[in-house]
Structure 1
Amino acid sequence: MARTVKPEEFAARRGEILQAARRLVFTKGYEQMSIQDVLDYVKISSGAFHHYFDSRQALLEAIIDHIRQESEKPLLPIFHDPHLSAIEKLQGFFDTLDRLRSANKADIIQLLRVWYTDDNAVVRLKVDEAVLAQRAPLLNAIVQQGIQERSFSLSYPKKAGEVILSLLQGMSNTHARLLLSLEHESDEQPIIDEIISTHAAYMEAIERLLGAPDHSLYRADISMVDTWVQAIRKSKNPA
């Protein structure tokens, strides 16, 4: 007679496998990760693994969905706060993402070294698609609120969320490249200046897209960037 597994036990074990696979993706890269790596990490059999996931592809889809759900939770209170203006919500959106990244600097720096390799190209694409599907409607709702408040004025409001996310992705990619270059350059100041100017340029582009007032969105300053420089230094020379 087959053993009956309680739903909470099933969810807990599935979550354990999922977390192990996610860590392997973030350290080895998806293309280098095998199911056997997951089995060895969690210490389970192939049969046990396939009780929770039909295939490596199903595991990848679960990882992407887990990332999507995690990234959504801290953002929803901002979008649904009736007391915030559209500009305050948009800035709150950016602030929350910055705060989450700042709280996990060491892990993010470690991840960046693997994330932009070819071994994670598929994962990056799928994460980008999931983020776009999740966040574009939320940003579009903010844009509609801003139009009603007369703080935004644009020709294609239904496309605004998609365009904003595309800009943010471009900025994120550039910042990642610049941060990683700090590991190989002795003169940090030009890189720090480039990070600051990149952030300012993208924020200005978003303001112009929305027809928002100049400097209505925050620009990164040297103190903010310096915390990342210090984190990069620490990761190169751990105590």
Structure 2
Amino acid sequence: MPRIVRHPELRRGEILDCAQALFLTRGYDHASLNDVIAAAGLSKGAFYHYFASKEALLEALAERLARQALVRIQDVLDEPGLDALARLNAVLTRSRQAKLETLAVTWPLFETLFRPENLVLFHRINGAASALFLPILAGIVAKGVEDGTFDTFDPEGVAEMMLQLGAATHGIIARAMAEAGDMAAAVPALERRVQLYALALDRILGLPDGSIRLTEPGHVEAVMTARRMNAGR
């Protein structure tokens, strides 16, 4: 039979699909590169043409999930008639909803990143996602400065700070996972930290306290509980 030649991007996507399915069912640590290669029907040489390592594969999955997250908020970004604050809060709300909807996929993929030995990889993946969203958030803040909604001299700097907040909670989540999945202390600690970040953003943007809605009641607990339920499967 003639050899089927697939477009490189299509083949790359198929490898990512196989990896995501394996990481979801077996966990990142228990699915080997050989498992991924076999599932994708590739030789090792062909696999390494696309990805240099298992870590590179995980980074690519993270980037793809970030792009999918961007698609989910695109209608909010395009919606006419929203001022900058309303658009920013709409983006944050939609992002929270998407996180809850995709937890079954994202936790098995990224839980390993909250282990101390994977801190560098966590920051590499977080940096890749941040690069995608930085110009979007900076644009919203700049528009708010232009129309008088926000008061800041550095819209891009504020956008960077917003994106760094997720990475700043790494230690709390990592400690909770290390303590046998006990969320009793982690959930209120995360809630307090997010409330602090929201208040700081209000002050930085010259807004009344409570204007930026980084979270909503029950969101942190829902995320962490979903993680614990998934870990018990």
TM-score (norm: length of structure 1): 0.76
Contact 2:141 2:155 in 1 (8 A): yes
Q: 2:69 is matched with which residue?
A: 71
Q: 1:180 is matched with which residue?
A: 177
Greater gyration radius: 1
Equivalent position SS for 2:218: helix
Structure 2 counterparts to residues 1-239 of structure 1, below 5 A: 3=3, 5=5, 7=7, 11-22=9-20, 27-28=27-28, 35-49=33-47, 53=50, 55-56=52-53, 59=57, 62-117=60-115, 120-171=118-169, 173-174=170-171, 176-177=173-174, 180=177, 183-185=180-182, 188=184, 190-218=185-213, 220=215, 222-228=217-223, 230-232=225-227, 234-235=229-230, 237-238=232-233
Query: How many residues are matched?
Result: 230
Q: CA deviation at 1:86?
A: 0.7
Alignment partners' CA distance in 2, 1:205 and 1:122 = 27
Question: 1:220 and 1:163, CA in 2 relative to 1: closer, same or farther beyond 3 A?
Answer: closer
CA-atom RMSD, angstroms? 3.4
Alignment partners' CA distance in 1, 2:94 and 2:113 = 21
Identity in percent: 23
**Structure 2: gaps (5+ residues):** none
Moved more, 133-142 or 227-236: 227-236
Question: 1:14 and 1:131, CA in 2 relative to 1: closer, same or farther beyond 3 A?
Answer: closer
Match for 1:135: what amino acid? F
Equivalent position SS for 2:168: helix
**Structure 1: gaps (5+ residues):** none
Contact 2:72 2:94 in 1 (8 A): yes
